[in-house]
Amino acid sequence: MNNHDLLYPDRVSVSSELSFERIWNGEAVSNLIRSKCDHGETPAFLFLGRREAALLRKHLAQSFGDESVVTLNGSYHLGLKVVMIDCESFLATGGRKTQRTLQDPMSRRPAWRDDITDTLWTFRI
């Protein structure tokens, strides 16, 4: 059995976190993501079964047109990478994004003045 033959996540140990019947509920997915955000860490993946993937495709097609939604594999939704699961119905978030530290743009600039020399040549009145 190869890694690509496995079902991620294991549906026995991970239960579906949301269930949709007829329409995609983006607000519910946003709330789910927010509920899992803790200490600056957010989920990285959105795992979808066939039904949920079809609902998301329909939702995106209504917004962007049918031709823009060819496949969901490798795409991102609400900042999470979409991963298709080979089952009828499943929706869960998982993984963890690495925390990116924001850098001050001033700290990345090269030092163009020497501090010691600069203090000697300060213009004083």
Nearest to 72 by CA among 61, 63, 62: 61
Average pLDDT taken over every residue of the chain: 76
Nearest Cα neighbor of 43 from 58, 31, 26 is 31
Residue where the block lists tokens 């993946």: 45
Please list the alpha-helical segments (H only) found in the chain: 26-36, 50-64, 105-108, 115-120
- Quickly state the pLDDT bin for 16 (edges 50, 70, 90): confident
pLDDT tens digits along 30-89: 999 888 887 677 888 999 999 999 999 999 988 888 887 878 877 899 889 999 888 888
| Cis bond upstream, residue 9 (ω within 30) | yes
User: How far out from the chain centre does Cα 72 lie?
Assistant: 14
pLDDT tops 50 at residue 4: no
Return d(Cα 40, Cα 97) in angstroms, integer. Answer: 9
Paired residues of 81 in beta bridges: 45, 76
